[in-house]
Structure 1
Amino acid sequence: MKTFISKNWHLMLIGVVALIVGGFVLFYFQGSVSSFPASQPKTVQEEPDRAKYEIATVNVEGDGFYPKNIEIKAGVPTKINFKRSTSFTCIDEVQSLKLGMDVFMDHENNYFTVKDLKPGVYEYNCGMYMFYGTITVK
């Protein structure tokens, strides 16, 4: 047994390195392919009527929400567009208990409507509670 390991240590090392690199590749590219069947069309959300709604945009990127805080006016109907700019992110859902928000993102524009909010600060987060943002109502 000792001679087998001493003669083949380099092959075992190559195997371990290949497993590590393969695991990294799978982890890195996990969000680049949709898990939905190809026959299921994605619905594209149209731009809302700017006469009826104020629109605030939050960019969803690989490392969080930008800007981290948005400001909206109290009592003004607002649509928040969580615009997903990359598929290389684990952020596929945005939630807020106070706002009753649970938005699953599977395309670029993802609108959530807020109405009649009282002044204050409302928090939201990704579905895995890793990234956070706030909405300040004035």
Structure 2
Amino acid sequence: MGSAITLFVGIVIVGVMLLFQYQGNVSSASQSQSVQPESQTTSKENDGYQIATVDVKSNGYGPNNIEVKAGVPTKIDFKTTSGISCTKHVVSNELGIDVDLKKGDNFIALKDLKPGTYKYHCGMYMYGGTITVK
């Protein structure tokens, strides 16, 4: 009898967790379009910084590549709509980024960028993108 109750409680807990995961994915999908991996954007300048925005969703980062100018102070806004998946943690060893993102705007300042292509990825290496400095 005790093992049946334990099994039932375990099934209920797993069901509740799956329900929350499903609701988070449905709400983020209904609020925005899916990430287009071939997309690319350039930065905008604001208060001496060039600013580029990366949309962070449960299914990846978009656009897949952003372009910024070399030698200009830069802020990358990793803008999140959901905090459920591994995309809420962004890492770039090349740029010294290792950040847990909160919901909304997450500005990361980068200075003295040299020309080249820099990679970033989620905490589980499942999703990623590039920053091209020209």
- Coarse TM-score class (shorter-chain normalised): 0.5 to 0.7
**1:28·1:88 contact (CA, 8 Å) conserved in 2?**
no
Are residue 107 (structure 1) and residue 103 (structure 2) matched? Answer: yes
> Shift of residue 129 of structure 1?
1.0
User: Please, which moves more after superposition, 105-114 or 18-27?
Assistant: 18-27
Aligned partner of residue 87 in structure 2, secondary structure: coil
Q: Which runs of 5+ in 2 are unaligned?
A: 1-10, 26-44
* Structure whose residues are more often strand by fraction: 2
CA distance in 1, matches of 2:132, 2:122: 18
- Which residue of 2 is the match for residue 78 of structure 1? 74
- Which residue of 1 is the match for residue 37 of structure 2? none
Whichever residue aligns with residue 25 of structure 1, its letter is L
TM-score norm. by structure 1 comes to 0.66
> Shift of residue 92 of structure 1?
1.5
Q: Which runs of 5+ in 1 are unaligned?
A: 1-16, 32-48
**Runs of 4+ residues over 2 Å off in structure 1:** 17-31, 86-90
CA distance in 2, matches of 1:26, 1:62: 13
Percent identity, please.
47
**2:83·2:103 contact (CA, 8 Å) conserved in 1?**
no
Map 1:83-98 onto structure 2 (within 5 A).
83-98=79-94
- Which residue of 2 is the match for residue 52 of structure 1? 48
Larger Cα-atom Rg? 1
- Which residue of 2 is the match for residue 38 of structure 1? none
- Paired residues in the alignment total 108
> Shift of residue 19 of structure 1?
8.0
> Shift of residue 116 of structure 1?
1.0
Whichever residue aligns with residue 84 of structure 1, its letter is T
* Structure whose residues are more often helix by fraction: 2
Q: Quick one: which of 24, 30, 46 aligns to 2:18?
A: 24
CA RMSD of aligned residues (A): 2.8
